[in-house]
Amino acid sequence: MTKFTDLKLDPKVLSAVVDAGYEEPTPIQAGAIPPALEGKDVLGIAQTGTGKTASFTLPMLTLLRRGRARARMPRSLVLCPTRELAAQVAENFDLYAKNTKLTRALLIGGVSFGEQDKLIDKGVDVLIATPGRLLDHFERGKLILTDVKVMVVDEADRMLDMGFIPDIERIFQLTPFTRQTLFFSATMAPEIERITNTFLHAPTRVEVARQATTGANITQKLIQIEPARRDQTAKAKRELLRAVISAEGEACTNAIVFCNRKVDVDIVAKSLQKYGFDAAPIHGDLDQSQRTRTLENFRDGKLKLLIASDVAARGLDVPSVSHVFNYDLPMHAEDYVHRIGRTGRAGRKGTAISIAVPSDEKFLGQIESLVEQEIPRAEPPEDFELSEGAKQPARKREDAKGGRSRGGRSRDRGGRGSKRDQRSEETQQPQSAAPQEQQEEQTPKTAEAQPEEARSEAAPEAASAPKPQSRSQSSDEGGNARRSRGGRNRRERDNEVVGMGDHVPDFLTVSFRPGAVEETAEDKADS
Nearer of residues 54 and 228 to ligand AMP, judged by Cβ: 54
Distance between CA atoms of residues 300 and 228, nearest Å: 41
For residue 247, the one-letter residue type is: A
CB of 269 to ligand AMP, least distance (A): 25
237 in contact with ligand AMP (CB under 6 A) = no
408 in contact with ligand AMP (CB under 6 A) = no
Site stretch for ligand AMP (CB under 6 A), options 18-26, 99-107, 321-329, 425-433 = 18-26
The SS3 call for residue 243 is helix
CB of 319 to ligand AMP, least distance (A): 5
Distance between CA atoms of residues 377 and 223, nearest Å: 6
61 in contact with ligand AMP (CB under 6 A) = no
Nearer of residues 320 and 472 to ligand AMP, judged by Cβ: 320
For residue 280, the one-letter residue type is: A
Whether residue 419 contacts residue 407, with contact meaning beta carbons closer than 8 Å, is answered with no
Q: Residue 405, exposed/middle/buried by CB under 10 A (0-12, 13-18, 19+)?
A: buried
Q: How many CB atoms lie within 10 A of CB 197?
A: 9
25 in contact with ligand AMP (CB under 6 A) = yes
49 in contact with ligand AMP (CB under 6 A) = yes
Residues 497-501: contacts with CB within 8 Å, 24+ apart? 497/454, 497/457, 497/458, 497/521, 500/454, 501/454
CB of 324 to ligand AMP, least distance (A): 16
Contact pattern for ligand AMP over residues 427 through 466, marking x by CB under 6 A: ----------------------------------------
Distances (CA, A) of 367 to 182, 214, 312, 374: 30, 11, 21, 9
Site stretch for ligand AMP (CB under 6 A), options 45-53, 59-67, 186-194, 264-272 = 45-53
CB of 389 to ligand AMP, least distance (A): 43
51 in contact with ligand AMP (CB under 6 A) = yes
Site stretch for ligand AMP (CB under 6 A), options 23-31, 263-271, 458-466, 474-482 = 23-31
Contact pattern for ligand AMP over residues 332 through 371, marking x by CB under 6 A: --------------x-------------------------
Site stretch for ligand AMP (CB under 6 A), options 19-27, 272-280, 328-336, 436-444 = 19-27
Distance between CA atoms of residues 117 and 156, nearest Å: 26
Contact pattern for ligand AMP over residues 313 through 332, marking x by CB under 6 A: ----x-x-------------
Strands 42-45 and 104-107: unpaired
48 in contact with ligand AMP (CB under 6 A) = yes
φ, ψ of residue 423 in degrees (nearest 5): -65, -45
CB of 158 to ligand AMP, least distance (A): 13
Among 31, 45, 53, 241, binds ligand AMP (CB under 6 A): 53
Beta-ladder partners of 219: 351
Distance between CA atoms of residues 79 and 382, nearest Å: 47
The SS3 call for residue 151 is strand
Distance between CA atoms of residues 440 and 456, nearest Å: 22
CB of 48 to ligand AMP, least distance (A): 4
26 in contact with ligand AMP (CB under 6 A) = yes
Nearer of residues 7 and 458 to ligand AMP, judged by Cβ: 7
54 in contact with ligand AMP (CB under 6 A) = yes
Interhelix angle 131-139/165-174, rounded to 10 degrees, is 50
Residues in contact with ligand AMP by CB under 6 A are 22, 25-26, 29, 48-54, 317, 319, 346
